[in-house]
Amino acid sequence: MGLKKWLDNARSVSLAQSLMPAMLAVVLAIGKVGFHWWDALLAVLGVCSAHLAMNLTDDYFDYKVDMLGDRDKVTRKGFRAMMVKYPYLTDGSQTLRSTARAIACFVGVALICGALILVDRAHTSSFWGEDGLWWIFAIVLACAFGGVFYSAPPIKLAYRGLGEFVIGIIFGPLLMMGVYYSSCAQMGWDVVFISVPVGLLVMNILFTHSFIDIVGDAQCNKMTLARLIGSRRGNLVASAAFIFLPFFTVILGVCLKVLSVWTLVVLVILPRGIWLFHSLVIFNEDKSVKMEKPAFWLGPMPNWDRYRELDIDWFMGRWLCSRNLLSGFCAVIMIVILINDIL
């Protein structure tokens, strides 16, 4: 099977979840003493490869516990659960063995990128110290632990209601701090501060998914954060926190003078968050929200007519909005930083 097929199998469409935070970290590092473009590009490539490996690893262990069989039962019972997560395995076109090889290849690319960064940085940085190379090792080990045991036994964090926190930490603070350090060989409070709201918005993508697919997850016995919280009111409170706290964090950063006042421009994305939360309130009341055509300010939602035909627009509208909330947040801050640097 060719690279394109494996990119599709690894759900490369979800790369915005890692690519946007990684690019934001690079933009934050531009202009810092020690910034190297080649290390920044290697870091972004390594992050994307690791993300694809993690997606396949999740499929690998989910398939081993035969989750799809449970989701088929859910569909036959009439519940509108998202399914067909790994068709390349269920249709027999690929096996667990070939999937393991693909995982190894993506991990190999990520490790090669990391090794090249280390070789380059070793010429100018020591291992220990405030800005030592230990940052890279610590971040890689933490990401590897969370990425593997997200679905892998015996810990299986995603099955204990901890999946959202694990992914939020990996694709927020750990990813951004790792890319930032790789790019300029130092750590800064600006990237630490910005990585927190980014992590919350990443968590929001997963939580929105588990919130609106809570019946399907319950039927296949997957313990998500939404199920762990249990109550409808509690899930709405959690959703409000994931959606709105990132914007309050930016305001706090500006007040503390950690972030530029121009960072407040990111509030133009807030209407997306308000729409998403309102749609979840409606969902919680067992009502439907219909969109003949998504409003442009909600961000790109390709294949909308197809989603409506399949009667999953109720799901995809909310999920895509949560993804666009993250992408828009990162994109606006990147633009603000670049314009501010030019001026």
Quick one: pLDDT band at residue 7, thresholds 50, 70, 90?
Answer: very high
pLDDT value at residue 335? 96
Exposure on the CB side of residue 222, measured as CA atoms within 13 A: 30
Angle at 327 between CA 278 and CA 204, to 5 degrees: 45
CA atoms of 205 and 326, how far apart (whole Å): 8
Mean pLDDT confidence for 207-229 = 87
Mean pLDDT confidence for 269-292 = 89
Domain boundaries, the chain: 3-342
Mean pLDDT confidence for 119-134 = 92
Cα→Cα distances 289→136, 315, 317, Å: 45, 10, 9
DSSP assignments along 162-220, one per residue: -HHHHHHHIIIIIHHHHHHHHHHSS--HHHHHHHHHHHHHHHHHHHHHHHHTHHHHHHT
Contact assessment for residue 204 and residue 238, using Cβ atoms and an 8 Å cutoff = no
pLDDT value at residue 343? 74
The model carries a pTM of 0.92
Quick one: pLDDT band at residue 76, thresholds 50, 70, 90?
Answer: very low
pLDDT value at residue 72? 53
Residue 68 in this model has a pLDDT that exceeds 90: no
Lowest mean pLDDT among 71-80, 138-147, 207-216, 297-306: 71-80
Mean pLDDT confidence for 124-133 = 90
Percentage with pLDDT > 70 across the chain: 94
Quick one: pLDDT band at residue 340, thresholds 50, 70, 90?
Answer: confident
Tokens representing 166?
A: 């694990």
pLDDT value at residue 217? 80
Quick one: pLDDT band at residue 62, thresholds 50, 70, 90?
Answer: confident
Quick one: pLDDT band at residue 77, thresholds 50, 70, 90?
Answer: very low
CB count, 10 Å around CB of 174?
A: 21
Residue 290 in this model has a pLDDT that exceeds 80: no
Which residues, 6 or more positions from 240, have their beta carbon under 8 angstroms from its beta carbon? 277
Residue 71 in this model has a pLDDT that exceeds 60: no
CA atoms of 133 and 137, how far apart (whole Å): 7
